[in-house]
Structure 1
Amino acid sequence: MNITHYMGLLADNQPWNLLIFMAVPVICAEILAITEIAILFTRKLDGALKKLNKVTGIFAGIYFTGVFIYLLKTAYIPLTVNGEWKGWIDVVAVTFYLLGIVPFLGMSLLDLGLIFRHKAEEEKLKIHAIFVSIFLIVAHVAMIFGMIDPSLGSGSSAGHDMINM
């Protein structure tokens, strides 16, 4: 079976690529989602959960910016320039993974007070929750398309194995 560049990246250099490109961002997203829900329900804006949420948001934004720059330079641009994409499914998987920069960097900038600085705390809470939601959406689209055989999008049946159940 053919695999997308997304899955190839995660499968190479085990376990390091899986940890660097999947585990760290997903763990950050899970911490953010769980603490975000607790903060939204309790409205406690000065406790340990809020601090964990803020530190995780800042870390995730900085960390994923590094991942984004690295993959843009070493994978996305070369694949595009050299015409090495395995079809539209492959492009969707990698593009949506990289789109994670928008919400992660947005959260980081918000938590650092560099954007929306004059908004009320309630508005900042809403914006932060929206960023978390956007990340979860783009990450899941990337994962779903990343697991699809990219040849399915090309109409070619090469590389398909039938599984008997």
Structure 2
Amino acid sequence: MSMTHYMELLATNQPWNLLIFMAIPVVLAETLAITELALLFTGQGDGPLRRINRAAAILAGLVFAAILLYLVPTVVVPLTASGAWRGWIDVVAVGCYLAGAVPLGLVALLDLGLLGRSLSPRRRLGWHVAAVGGFLVVAHVAMIFGMLDPTLGAAPMSHHMSH
């Protein structure tokens, strides 16, 4: 079975690629999501839970920015230039994985105070929650498509039936 470049990246250079490109970002993003839910449920605007949430948001944004800055020139550009993508499933898996940098970057910028300073706390929280949700969507799409055999997305052979 053929594998997507997403899965190949995680399977290569064990355990380092798995730790760098999956475990660290996912632990940070899951910490962010769990603390986000707890903050919404408890209504706490500050305290230790908020500090953990803020730290996870900033670190996740920085980690994903670094991953994006590393993978685009070293993987995406060469694959595109050489036409080495393994079909649309491969592109969706890698594209959605890298798209996670956008919502996590937004959350980091919000928590660093570089974005949304004029927003009310409730409005800023709304952006925060939406960005975390956006990340969860693209991350899960990346994982699902990343685990598929990319040849499943190949154009079907046309079969001519004679009667």
Q: What range is the shorter-chain TM-score in?
A: over 0.9
- Asked if residue 85 in structure 1 is aligned to residue 85 in structure 2, the reply is yes
Give the distance between the partners of 1:32 and 1:54, measured in 2 at CA. Answer: 8
The structural deviation recorded for 1:155 is 3.8
Give the distance between the partners of 2:125 and 2:39, measured in 1 at CA. Answer: 9
Deviations, residues 72-98 of structure 1 (Å, cap 9, x unaligned): 011011100110000000000000000
Bigger Rg, which one: 2
Gaps of 5+ in 2: 158-163
Tell me what 1:22 maps to: 22
Secondary structure in 2 aligned to 1:22? helix
Give the distance between the partners of 2:93 and 2:79, measured in 1 at CA. Answer: 13
> Given the two structures, how large is their TM-score scaled by the length of structure 2?
0.94
- Asked if residue 97 in structure 1 is aligned to residue 97 in structure 2, the reply is yes
Q: What RMSD over aligned residues (CA atoms) do the two structures have, in Å? A: 1.1
The structural deviation recorded for 1:150 is 0.4
Give the distance between the partners of 1:134 and 1:23, measured in 2 at CA. Answer: 19
Give the distance between the partners of 1:44 and 1:86, measured in 2 at CA. Answer: 47
Give the distance between the partners of 2:71 and 2:51, measured in 1 at CA. Answer: 30
- Asked if residue 59 in structure 1 is aligned to residue 62 in structure 2, the reply is no
Tell me what 1:124 maps to: 124
The structural deviation recorded for 1:124 is 1.0
Q: Which consecutive aligned stretches of 4+ in structure 1 deviate over 2 angstroms post-superposition?
A: none
| % identical equivalent positions | 55
Gaps of 5+ in 1: 158-165
Deviations, residues 12-68 of structure 1 (Å, cap 9, x unaligned): 000000000001111111101110011111111111010000011011111110000
AA in 2 matched with 1:80: T
Give the distance between the partners of 1:142 and 1:136, measured in 2 at CA. Answer: 10
Tell me what 2:161 maps to: none
Give the distance between the partners of 1:66 and 1:33, measured in 2 at CA. Answer: 20
AA in 2 matched with 1:23: A
- Asked if residue 137 in structure 1 is aligned to residue 137 in structure 2, the reply is yes
The structural deviation recorded for 1:128 is 0.5
Give the distance between the partners of 1:93 and 1:128, measured in 2 at CA. Answer: 24
Give the distance between the partners of 2:151 and 2:21, measured in 1 at CA. Answer: 24
Tell me what 1:69 maps to: 69
